[in-house]
Every structure is written in C-alpha cells, then in structure tokens.
Amino acid sequence: MCKDISIFYLLAMILLYGPTQMTCQINTHAGSQHVRKCSSSKNDVDMNIGMGVKNKKRVVLPSRPDPPSVEQILEDINRASPNDPVFSVFENANKDVKRASSDNEVETKYLQSRRYLEMNERLQEIKDELLQRRKDLQLTEEQLENSVAEVKGKSL
C-alpha cells in the first residue's frame, strides 16, 4: 500500500510494469493530484490504481499468413473478371495520365504559338528599324554626294 504517491512516481511505475499490468486510484485536492492506491500484477505490492486502466487480458494475435506465391498470384489474376475494380482503377489511372499528357501537349502547343507570335512581332520591329536605318543611309548618301560635289566645285 502506497499513499500520496506523486504522478511522476506513477508514470515511472507504468513505464516499469506496463499500463496493462497496473491499476491506479487518484485523488485530486485543490488542483494537485495524488495517487491513493496502486497495484501491480507483476509485483505483490497492493497498489489498486483506478485511472480507468484496468487489468485486461492480452489478446494473442494470430501469426501473419505467408505471402502468396507467384503461381497463386497469377491464378488469382486469371480468375478475376474483367470488370474487377483492380482493373478499372488502372484504366482510370491511364485515362488521367492520357489527359495529363494531352494537357501537357496543349500547353506545349500554346507556348510554341506564343513564342512564334513574339518572334513575329520582334521581326516586325527589326524590319521597321532596318527601314528607318535605310532611309537614314539614303539621306546621308545624298548629303555626302552634295558635299563631294561642293568640294569639287570649289577646287576647280
């Protein structure tokens, strides 16, 4: 029998003996908690703890079955009907992949067309710039011819 044991001691006991092997009763006084009674099935010390944890029988789980052999898997697949959900899931996944690749193809075509329009616009700007430079060169040629004629007239 252990009275007024701290919660920390209780937690240590639970860790030591395991939660399924202990029961506790806790008293709460003015915001502080004390363990009133503790009991453990592992230890003959009387510690009836009532935190809602009772001694429960451990359920023994059956052992895991062996994985199926390749022959069993193939036999199972061959016996499955064509409308089996497994096959329809793959069909839906393939449709999603096709749709995604189709969307990707549409996106690629869109980007190519935008690039074409941008290049076309840039070529138009360059064409206009070249026409302006040609006009400037023609003006410069005329001015140069006039200057040359003027120099020839003065020198003769």
| Distance of alpha carbon 84 from alpha carbon 81, whole angstroms | 5
- Mean pLDDT by groups of 10 residues along the chain of 156 residues: 55 62 55 52 45 64 87 87 74 68 83 92 94 96 94 83
Q: Is 100 helix (H, G, I), strand (E, B) or coil?
A: helix
Length of the chain: 156
Question: Could you tell me if 42 and 14 are in contact, meaning their C-beta atoms sit under 8 angstroms apart?
Answer: no
pLDDT of 2? 47
| Distance of alpha carbon 51 from alpha carbon 14, whole angstroms | 11
Question: Could you tell me if 21 and 48 are in contact, meaning their C-beta atoms sit under 8 angstroms apart?
Answer: no
pLDDT of 8? 61
Query: Strands of 48-49's sheet, edge to edge?
Result: 32-40, 22-29, 48-49
pLDDT of 85? 75
pLDDT of 94? 65
